[in-house]
Chain A
Amino acid sequence: MTERSFALIDGNSFYCSCERVFDPKLATRPVIVLSNNDGCAIARTSEAKALGIKMGDPFFKIRDLCRRERIAVYSSNYTLYGDMSRRMGWIYESWAREVETYSIDESFLDLSNFRLSERAELARDLRATVLRWTGVPTCVGIGPTKTLAKAANAMAKKDPEARGVVDLTDPAERQARLDRFHVSDVWGVGPRSWAKMEALGIKTAGDLARMDPRQIRMKFTVVGERTLHELRGVTCIDLETVVPQRKGIAVTRSFGRPVTTLEGLIEAVASHAFRAGEKLRRHGLAATHLSVFAHSNLHNGDPHFSAGATEDLIEATSDGLALIAAASRGARRLWPPRGAKLAKAGVILDDLVRADHAPAALIGGRDREKADRMMAAVDAVNARFGRGAIISAAAGMKMPWATKFEMRSPRYTTRVDELPVARAG
């Protein structure tokens, strides 16, 4: 019998950890990273959390606290975080047979082909390798479903005795841990359903798992019922399912045949970007960054290639055309692949905001060349998928409005003029 097993691995305070890799002075200091335009705190080390800084705290409110407590404050450096994320992804790919990049710092791995007794040990080895190779500390949650893997990951973060890995495969251990896990922390349980669940006396994930599925379906639709089954260990959400969440959306596909031309790559990432845009719009979200990555097959002896490029979007957007334009820019930037055959490419949207809260950019002069490139990409998508009716709006305009990154660290890993410096003297 082949029982499914998933792992969720993610970086601890990922953005802050990336900063710490290249500036060792930060090892003993609290660190926070701010959102676009230095608006609010979006990543905090445990030391910063202990000082009372909350997720989403506006910077102007905590500025004095940061100065007083010598908290290191950074603007977000998505170029760096994207590159570190890509490195981690590459490591995962050589460990697990299937990897779903869920967000910039979270990946689901399929561990079904490993023996039950080996999985936790494997996860510990993987953590140690990622830490040594990239400098980023991680936690791993393991379970027979993605919902359980996600819960296990959250448990691993909070339980120092877990040494970074919690495995919910064993039913007895699962039961005990889920009874201490608050239902509001369960993947897929939003604030509204949580309030309704409390009214039904459901406090923990264990309580939810013991409910009658039909009752849950009536009150919380099939989505609630699916969560219940997942908590019981019945796989309902498979790896390929791309579920958007606050942090990011990723659309990733392996190519049916290796891609060796820029046109082929652009066509692929354009369609990924288009799909990601559909997901954004469906959830009323907008993205402020778009990352493109592509790599060769790592197992068949082909020349190794792995590259990524992060593009800032002029304004937070869910416009398919703007996303396609950014994706093709990214594809051009990571080209050429040095003779390698590309096996996989993907698009990741970061730093998502509610579309109706997104600030508008100023409109500048129209950039014809950029617009042409963009239309070519759109045509390629339409030709391939037979989808028409893409509405052209403000996309492709040159915006004189640039994102502010006043306290950004160097782009250590992608710019030759911003490399980390080793003192010799």
Chain B
Amino acid sequence: MSRFVRAVALGPELRVPMFEHGLCAGFPSPADDFLEDAVDVARLLITNPPATFLWRVDGDSMQDAGIFDRDILVVDRSLEPRDRDVVVAIVNGERSLKRLSLAGRPRLAFANRRLPDFEAPELAEIELWGVVTWNLHRLRAVRP
């Protein structure tokens, strides 16, 4: 008989227990010495809390980067942008999602083969708001 490890959700965070087996009264559990804290998803996703913000994706221009419409992004403002980073970029005051290219002249690009290359408007004012570190993409549809 196979036995499933049960994940127990307590409050908004997810606790993933490392063990599940019955405890015998009177005998110490052999697992006691090996107990560790449950994996904390928030700590995994957020390494610098004061600088980390969540953003919502609107559109499909970043599909090839694995980012889809309505996904939730983890954005860290404290990181130095690197070549190939996905960034929240402010282009002429518009909040947008782009791939940053630092090879040669700094450039912003879509990540979608079906779209023409992104061309920033002439003399556009561009500001990098933050670097995207994780994408939260829901695989199981919300029950209607």
Chain A positions 111 through 146: 1 when the CB is less than 8 Å from some CB of chain B, otherwise 0: 000000000000000000100111100000000000
Partner among A24, A133, A412, A424 whose Cβ is within 8 Å of the Cβ of B59:
A424
Is A400's CB within 8 Å of the partner chain B? no
A28 CB contacts on chain B under 8 angstroms: 93
Residues of A contacting B: mostly: mixed
Partner among B37, B53, B77 whose Cβ is within 8 Å of the Cβ of A413:
B53
User: Cβ of B37 and Cβ of A133 under 8 Å apart?
Assistant: no
A133 CB contacts on chain B under 8 angstroms: 48, 50-51, 77-78
A420 CB contacts on chain B under 8 angstroms: 53, 55-56, 95
Expressed in whole angstroms, the minimum distance between the Cβ of A53 and any Cβ of chain B is 23
Is B21's CB within 8 Å of the partner chain A? no
Interface size class of B (residues with CB under 8 A): 35 or more
Is B90's CB within 8 Å of the partner chain A? yes
Is A190's CB within 8 Å of the partner chain B? no
Q: How far is the CA of A135 from the CA of B51 in the complex (A)?
A: 9
Q: How far is the CA of A304 from the CA of B52 in the complex (A)?
A: 14
Expressed in whole angstroms, the minimum distance between the Cβ of B37 and any Cβ of chain A is 6
User: Cβ of A422 and Cβ of B58 under 8 Å apart?
Assistant: yes
Is B13's CB within 8 Å of the partner chain A? yes
Is A401's CB within 8 Å of the partner chain B? no
User: Cβ of B127 and Cβ of A24 under 8 Å apart?
Assistant: yes
Q: How far is the CA of A135 from the CA of B54 in the complex (A)?
A: 15
Q: How far is the CA of A303 from the CA of B54 in the complex (A)?
A: 21
Q: How far is the CA of A133 from the CA of B78 in the complex (A)?
A: 5
**Total contacting residues, chain A, CB less than 8 A:** 30
Considering only CB atoms, which chain A residue lies closest to B80 in the complex? Answer: A132
Q: How far is the CA of A419 from the CA of B50 in the complex (A)?
A: 16
- If the complex has contacts A133-B50, A134-B50, A424-B60, are A419 and B43 also in contact, measured as CB distance less than 8 A? no
Partner among B43, B51, B72, B97 whose Cβ is within 8 Å of the Cβ of A303:
B43
Q: Which of B79-95 contact A (CB under 8 A)?
A: 88, 90, 93-95
Q: How far is the CA of A92 from the CA of B37 in the complex (A)?
A: 29
Please indicate which of the listed interface residues A304, A413, A416 has the most CB atoms of chain B within 10 Å of its own CB. Answer: A304
* Known A25-B94, A336-B10, A422-B55; 20 more pairs at CB < 8 Å: A24-B90, A24-B94, A87-B49, A88-B50, A90-B49, A132-B78, A134-B50, A135-B77, A338-B13, A339-B37, A419-B55, A420-B53, A422-B58, A422-B73, A422-B88, A423-B94, A424-B59, A424-B69, A424-B97, A425-B58
* 5 contacting pairs across A/B (C-beta < 8 A): A133-B48, A133-B78, A422-B55, A422-B56, A422-B97
